[in-house]
Chains A and B, each alone.
Chain A
Amino acid sequence: MLQRVFQIIGSMSMVSAILFVGHLSQAEDDPLVVGASLAKTGSGSIPACSSCHGQLGEGNAAAGFPALAGMNAAYLERQLLDMKAAKREINPAMKPIIDGLTDGQIRAASTYYATLEKPKPVPATGDIERGKWLVERGNWDAGVPACSQCHGPNGRGINEVFPSLAGQSALYMTNQIAAWKKGTRTNDTNGLMASVARRISDADAAAAAAYLQQLGGQP
């Protein structure tokens, strides 16, 4: 009888042990856990994403470091992979980081940041009224569609092809428009954004970007 009790206790601990180990390996594989760890503490020689992209993934508007919080996961992943493949112009500070990240880590960080709350509004200087017009109506006299015609109402983002613009760093966005114009960013689907960018004046790019930054992330 006593032996039977020990047998039961023994098998129960075995079950617990298996469950515990299972839980541990699950946590190590969970992209949200891996992504959060990369974001907050980095990995090996790779610094924490948050050291440039902010504690909340809100980016650094003044420095032009993009907000990542609440962006579409597949979009973020593609951007990071394209940076690695040199299809996107890249900040020199980001270069060693992107080269050091595995594809799995890239996916994990992207998955994690997509779950965060979209960035808060950051005040911006510029022609906000003109920017609002461009976002909502465009400048068709120069063949420029409204930002919202592809990126959704108030630039809130549609999917992995048409990312959120609202609450993004204005400087980051004008840098990207410039990169498309120069041809140093070429990873847009079907060359759609490159075509639009070539029709946008620098003044209009700055106005639209300022409006979108101060708008903050849109639900």
Chain B
Amino acid sequence: MNCLSCELKRAFKNRRLFCTVFFGCALTAVQYFLDVLPVVAYLNDYQTDPGLLPHSVFSQWIGANGASPSMAVYITVAPILAAFPYGDSFLSDRQSGYMQTLLLSSSRMKFLLSKYIAVFLSGGFCGIFPLVFNLLLTIATLPSISPVAAMGVFAPSSSSMFGDLFFIHPWGYLLLFFFLEFLFFGALSTVALLVSFFWSNSFLVTTLPFILYFMFSEIVALFGCPQIAPTNFLFPDQVVQYCSSAFVLSVCILFPPISCLAFLLMGRKLETIS
């Protein structure tokens, strides 16, 4: 338990995490200033016509507004934001000798598990925090009027994946996507842990999750299967229709235990982790 709390403290109380969160929040704040604040001027125009729907949180926040440059950047670089704060810590711990020192007072399995949990949680946190930040800013500015499918102005339609949930329980829909993104980006950042066994270059280790995510997404989209690209199924605006909810749920739920198992097995297989 000591090992875990120590790892969590190192993961969440570091300058890199602060810088990453700052960069992510600045990026999503740009969307707030470009797309949310300008529509405040039109809010009162709707009071005279009950047939119209005012701009609401669910149509304007970054997750619903894929046409924004900030969202395009965020979708692309999110794995870097997830892996940068603590993804290469296993590598740096091995190189600095900190790990060997820690292993004198803690079991190897405990250390590996603590490391995995810390990287997973920090990755998941940095992956979704900027989106949550933008959502909170938007909530503070626009009314949270429930989306109406008939208006046709909302990014997911009723035929989209979890589309019914969006129109019945929009907050539930957003929470579900945050949860899935948390799991996915958390697990993706732990890919950096796996390659730390083979590589000694921190830049390569930290950027590998991004390269895998980006290359896979772009290549499957080029070959006409955009519905299995994480850049498409992972974000609430759902630019691609017909994403399979079973596929998305299984990817997001199975990815963390598989990466954890792989990391523990690789860590256990090594005679001496140095």
A and B co-occur in one complex? no
Which A residues lie at the B interface, using CB under 8 A? Answer: none
